[in-house]
A and B are shown apart, each in its own frame.
Chain A
Amino acid sequence: MAVNNEIRYLNPPTVEVKKKKYCRFKKAHIKYVDYKDAEFLKRFLNEQGKILPRRLTGTSLKFQRKVAQAVKRARHLALLPYVTDLLK
């Protein structure tokens, strides 16, 4: 079994510098996510209009739920699409 140090990598393994993710809501002391301003909510959606997971946006659980709730309300009111191909 190849011992670890014998493994030759073609190029040095790029250790992704661990950017400390922070919850933008706690940092900016935002208390309430408004479902009416779609521009702000768009930052939490990907190209297809799907909600981004916490591990990418780094938001805390409490605010992730608020964002998800706001996005679903915005979708109900046709401020945000349910699915689209080019959102940004």
Chain B
Amino acid sequence: MLKQYETVFIATPVLSDEQIKEAVVKYREFILSEGGEIVNEEDWGLRKLAYPIQKKTTGFYHLFEFKADSQFIAKLETQYRRDERIIRFLTFAMDKNSIAYSERRRNNKKEEKKEE
């Protein structure tokens, strides 16, 4: 049974844009290749960190919301740990309420886009 997860990772700002895109694509392919299914994806881009991580004060944030089976998460996290571009990550199993919340969030985001 595919459970729904949400993962956010921060990439070092030192990277150029292509490297960031390539990292994102690498993880997207990795999720899809393992039989996962991406529900939503958000790129918050370069943001200021609340406290310096590894002497850096800004980072590229990226969010994946995906459905996968539970063994896959351990693999994903070892990938994160091995990849030195990623300085921090957080994966989070979504329950009923958080799924409903993210749907609502996505809908009103679409409305905002339409209004703009």
Count of chain B residues near A, Cβ 8 A? 17
Stretch at the interface among A16-24, A50-58, A76-84: A76-84
Give Cα A31–Cα B98 distance, bound, in whole angstroms: 8
Give Cα A81–Cα B53 distance, bound, in whole angstroms: 11
Does A32 lie at the interface of the complex (its beta carbon under 8 Å from any beta carbon of B)? yes
By beta carbon, the residue of chain A nearest B53 is A78
Chain B residues contacting A79 (CB-CB under 8 Å) are 50
- A interface, size bucket: 10 to 19
B101 touches A77 (CB 8 A): no
Chain A residues contacting B51 (CB-CB under 8 Å) are 78, 81-82
B90 touches A31 (CB 8 A): no
B10 touches A77 (CB 8 A): yes
Does B8 lie at the interface of the complex (its beta carbon under 8 Å from any beta carbon of A)? yes
Chain B residues contacting A77 (CB-CB under 8 Å) are 8, 10, 61, 88, 90
Chain A residues contacting B97 (CB-CB under 8 Å) are 31-32
Of the listed residues B8, B10, B50, the one surrounded by the most CB atoms of chain A closer than 10 A to its CB is B50
A76 touches B50 (CB 8 A): no
Name B residues whose Cβ lies closer than 8 Å to a Cβ of A.
Answer: 8, 10, 49-51, 53, 59, 61, 63, 88, 90, 92, 97-98, 100-101, 105
* 22 intermolecular pairs with C-beta atoms under 8 Å apart: A31-B97, A31-B100, A31-B101, A32-B101, A34-B101, A36-B63, A73-B90, A73-B92, A75-B50, A77-B8, A77-B88, A77-B90, A78-B10, A78-B50, A78-B51, A78-B53, A78-B59, A78-B88, A79-B50, A80-B50, A81-B50, A81-B51
